[in-house]
Structure 1
């Protein structure tokens, strides 16, 4: 018999311990972000919920602690749509190490009219992409000071059928909310891959990984009162869909694995195993347009101009 031990399969319900590590989850007070935070808190790590709403964040903290006794979890006020506020937020983080940031927070608008932030940026593009781009730059010193740190960017299946209009990133022409949302998620994903290329070129030990949750529906998501309340009728109506998609607890699995699994590599994309829509997390081949390095580089340059920052990491 061989004395070489086979690697154990990743178990989403038995996560490796992470005591002494620190993780920041943007949008960790609700949706998939909440479940990312809850699952990471179960590893013994310190988990920071980045959220602009202190009341919702406190409700999430109470819920997490009810399921993870003694959880080290706290709130950081974070408004990704307000670029000028991010420096203050990062200064308040108060950590000398940051093992991972999960760029999860996002805005999805369903109806016109087009909305702008006070900086004059389209709201979804500003929150989903520009805010995370600027946050990455501000977190660079503490991430670079933490060997093997990770930047996990949450994309979406909605990006698979979209293409960026580099001449109209703010969607000022022919604004359609669902298309704009898909483009903002595509921008996030392209950023995540371009970031990893730049990290490797700089000799950094920080990794950039892109994930997506597949199909994650509220009706299939377990209750977490008061953060998430699910009626019996909602649960029953969602059961048939469970053959194709999943709830947000399972939608969190790719991001959690990207944070914790030592076998994850920079530049990878992780998503659900079954047709990219449901199931346990696995590394997937990149969609063709995600490998477009020219578009990614042009998006990076445009993002630098729009935010006034340029995320840069060097070797330790």
Structure 2
């Protein structure tokens, strides 16, 4: 199914201007998050970089200011895995409105053992999904204060082959790191779509969009010292992979488009054009399992119980 004719031409290198707008990017100090912040800063918007590491955050801010003259970017301490800290983090924004939040922060573990957040949740599920679920509830009044705010959830292509086990969301019975990661990102994507359905039912002006970066490798990512340094050797070794995947600067493109393109609508999925792995961002058909609203509704209820908040119940 093609959506090529449903959206206007889009140039990732010539973004529309966004002066006067305020965006928050979680996990913006490294990887795809860094490039989301850098690219949005080039639009003239005020961009808040959320990070749990103040030193790395300030290094990222300095790098962006060097590359984007006049960039309106600053950092706040934001630890998505620490649910009790989210209220203070939102207060530190010192903003009367928020035009978009990009839920990008995440944890990916490759090997056992299973780890937990301070709240006792499996680390990847607790950070990638539950943290953003709870943060959304805290941010909803600021998002509602904007004229047409967007919540952009950065999922993963790894979620396409996974299915949620609603009876073992925290991988207590069976822990396989890569599977748990894929399911945590799938939970995020289900949340982003269910959130938009609920916002539409409430008549809210806030929209929720889901994106994924496709295949994004460090070795294909341009250097941004000291945030990221790519060696010549790494670039040469990764050159064959560039036929199928791309760097993290390009992995940022779907999220940036979801924030800035007025043609993007809530409830949509955006990702890379070529095989969903590389290329310019475009709208994609929802994966079949993402259309299961019963699963999404059950996940929502469990998430409310685990976090003690309900984004739907917060004015928005």
State TM-score, norm by structure 2: 0.97
- Structure 2: 5+ residue stretches without partners: 1-5
2:51 matched residue in structure 1: 51
1:189 matched residue in structure 2: 189
Offset of 1:174 from its aligned partner?
1.5
Whether the 8 Å CA contact 2:269–2:286 is kept in 1: the answer is yes
Offset of 1:116 from its aligned partner?
0.7
Offset of 1:277 from its aligned partner?
0.3
What are the within-5 Å matches in structure 2 for residues 170-249 of structure 1? Answer: 170-249=170-249
Whether the 8 Å CA contact 2:61–2:73 is kept in 1: the answer is yes
Whether the 8 Å CA contact 1:204–1:314 is kept in 2: the answer is no
Per-residue Cα deviation, 1:91-122 (whole angstroms, up to 9, x for no partner): 11111111000000000001101001121100
RMSD: 1.3
Offset of 1:215 from its aligned partner?
0.3
- Structure 1: 5+ residue stretches without partners: 1-5
Per-residue Cα deviation, 1:22-64 (whole angstroms, up to 9, x for no partner): 0000000000000000000001100000100000000000110
Cα distance in 1 for residues equivalent to 2:38 and 2:168: 38
2:134 matched residue in structure 1: 134
2:90 matched residue in structure 1: 90
Offset of 1:314 from its aligned partner?
7.9
Whether the 8 Å CA contact 1:202–1:315 is kept in 2: the answer is no
Q: What is the SS of the residue equivalent to 2:187?
A: helix
Whether the 8 Å CA contact 2:102–2:152 is kept in 1: the answer is yes
Offset of 1:312 from its aligned partner?
2.2
1:118 matched residue in structure 2: 118
Q: Deviating runs (4+, > 2 A) in structure 1? A: 312-316
Decide whether aligned partners of structure 1 residues 147 and 242 sit closer, same or farther in structure 2, where only a CA change above 3 A counts. Answer: same
Whether the 8 Å CA contact 1:144–1:313 is kept in 2: the answer is no
Whether the 8 Å CA contact 2:19–2:43 is kept in 1: the answer is yes
What are the within-5 Å matches in structure 2 for residues 300-311 of structure 1? Answer: 300-311=300-311
235-244 or 131-140, larger mean C-alpha shift: 235-244
Cα distance in 1 for residues equivalent to 2:118 and 2:283: 38
Offset of 1:9 from its aligned partner?
1.0
Q: What is the SS of the residue equivalent to 1:280?
A: strand
Offset of 1:233 from its aligned partner?
0.1
1:3 matched residue in structure 2: none
2:33 matched residue in structure 1: 33
2:71 matched residue in structure 1: 71
Offset of 1:68 from its aligned partner?
0.3
The yes-or-no answer on 1:143 pairing with 2:143 is yes
2:288 matched residue in structure 1: 288
Cα distance in 2 for residues equivalent to 1:98 and 1:74: 15
Whether the 8 Å CA contact 2:141–2:315 is kept in 1: the answer is no
Cα distance in 2 for residues equivalent to 1:251 and 1:48: 19
Cα distance in 1 for residues equivalent to 2:63 and 2:130: 30
Whether the 8 Å CA contact 1:203–1:315 is kept in 2: the answer is no
2:61 matched residue in structure 1: 61
1:104 matched residue in structure 2: 104
Cα distance in 2 for residues equivalent to 1:20 and 1:29: 22
